[in-house]
Amino acid sequence: MTVLGMSICISNKSMAKAMEKADELTPRGSHLPIEKSIEQINTWYGGWSSYFRMTEYPYQLKVIEAHIRRRLRARIVKQKKSRRNLYNFFAKQGVPKALAKCTVYSNSGTWRLSLNRAVHKAFSNDWFINRVGQKVMSDKRLTHWENIEKKPSLL
């Protein structure tokens, strides 16, 4: 924890360690189902976020949660193996066909695709939270927290 004037935030070093741990828990080439990976992530993230809950900037927690979702999106895209399978999957998820086609047949890699609009539509934040069960601590709205979009000046 770092004290900025009179506010408390998570240090850059702790944030970097958390990002490394998130990367470790969400490998791209894993045989585990997404639900099992989310269980492991929730176990770690629940304890980590409880320890750092005294921060006044929930934005920092939001950054880690978003990074975890992006890693999982990249993993899902990679698991589809072929462009045709990915296109069919997007169609089943309700992504417009033109958007799905442009996304799938672009020359972007899996990491870049994980930020794409079609992938976000197929795997929205609500999908991760409500359907798969990702633990989200940044929405708790604790009394000592600042606005969710306010970043500490340290970052």
Residue at 83 is within a domain: yes
User: How far are the Cα atoms of 75, 86, 112, 126, 130 from residue 37, in angstroms, in the given order?
Assistant: 11, 21, 21, 17, 15
pLDDT tens for the chain, 155 residues: list them: 555 556 788 888 999 999 999 999 988 777 888 889 999 999 999 999 888 888 888 888 889 999 999 999 999 888 888 889 899 989 998 999 999 999 988 888 888 988 899 999 999 999 999 988 998 887 777 766 776 667 776 54
Residue at 155 is within a domain: no
Residue at 102 is within a domain: yes
Residue at 92 is within a domain: yes
User: How far are the Cα atoms of 59, 116, 128, 133 from residue 155, in angstroms, in the given order?
Assistant: 11, 25, 27, 29
Residue at 141 is within a domain: no
Structural domain span for residue 66: 2-26+33-132
Residue at 15 is within a domain: yes
Q: Name which of 75, 77, 81 is nearest 26 in CA terms.
A: 75
Residue at 137 is within a domain: no
Q: Based on the structure, what is the number of domains in the chain?
A: 1
Residue at 42 is within a domain: yes
